[in-house]
């Protein structure tokens, strides 16, 4: 009798364990996959991983165009695979983008997320990769570099952050989400930048989920 009960318990335990493993594998297979491109400290990439990875989607890789990008270590500590493709190894923007497209496609992501990726992308990339981008201004204002500084120095009442689809024109793709705040009189650039960063941490995961749920 004891042997029979022991066998039954072991059978039920193994069956339950196998079922849980099956559900886990199945769940991960159904999860949408994203790939993050970044160039620097990777704080936004880190935030995306912490909020979404293995919860709402699966981050297949974080790719930087600089081997010294601090974001690489941040993602590695979170268990995310990372890769580096340095743009300085290529003689033209198009050559770099061609190799980047190959690398990105090798991971088969459903969506590519540009999070502080400091590159102007050519049509070689934009016509081949489905991607979204985070930009620290209320587009269409202040496209391109130094958007925070230009927004801060402007006479605008409102400032904020945009997430948009990547298109062939710089920072001109369809807006997915925007969030804003009112500028304060005599506010420092440091305080202003912190507000922008706070919104970035909130809006990017929301935008990613909005796009993934539409696929």
76: which 2 tokens? 């590695």
Number of neighbouring beta carbons within 10 Å of residue 102: 11
Beta bridge partners of 131: 112
| Cα(65)–Cα(63) distance, integer angstroms | 7
Return the half-sphere exposure (C-beta side, CA atoms, 13 A cut-off) of residue 181. Answer: 17
Which residue out of 53, 87, 135, 164 is catalytically annotated?
135
Contacts (Cβ under 8 Å, ≥6 apart) of 43: 71, 74, 116, 197
Alpha helices (H) in the chain, listed in sequence order:
2-30, 43-52, 71-77, 93-106, 123-126, 147-153, 189-214
Q: How many residues does the chain have?
A: 215
Report the candidate in 29, 42, 59 with the shortest Cα–Cα distance to residue 208. 59
What sign results for the dihedral spanned by CA atoms 21, 26, 29, 31?
negative
| Cα(183)–Cα(15) distance, integer angstroms | 59
Is 135 catalytic? The answer is yes
Catalytic residue ranges: 135
């Amino acid at each position: 009798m004891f042997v029979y009960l022991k066998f039954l318990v072991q059978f039920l335990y193994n069956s339950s364990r196998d079922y849980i493993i099956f559900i886990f594998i199945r769940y991960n297979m159904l999860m949408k996959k994203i790939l993050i491109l970044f160039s620097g400290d990777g704080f936004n990439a880190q935030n995306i991983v912490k909020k979404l990875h293995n919860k709402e989607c699966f981050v297949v890789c974080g790719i930087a165009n600089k081997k010294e990008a601090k974001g690489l270590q941040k993602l590695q500590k979170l268990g995310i695979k990372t890769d580096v493709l340095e743009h300085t190894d290529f003689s033209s923007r198009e050559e770099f983008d061609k190799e980047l497209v190959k690398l990105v496609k090798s991971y088969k992501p459903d969506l590519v997320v540009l999070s502080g990726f400091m590159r102007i992308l050519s049509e070689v990339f934009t016509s081949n990769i489905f991607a979204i981008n985070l930009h620290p201004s209320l587009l269409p204002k202040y496209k391109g570099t130094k958007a925070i500084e230009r927004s801060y120095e402007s006479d605008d009442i409102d400032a904020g952050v945009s997430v948009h689809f990547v298109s062939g024109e710089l920072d001109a793709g369809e807006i997915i989400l925007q969030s804003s705040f009112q500028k304060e009189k005599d506010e420092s650039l440091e305080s202003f930048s912190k507000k922008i960063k706070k919104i970035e941490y909130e809006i990017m995961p929301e935008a990613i989920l909005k796009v993934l749920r539409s696929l």
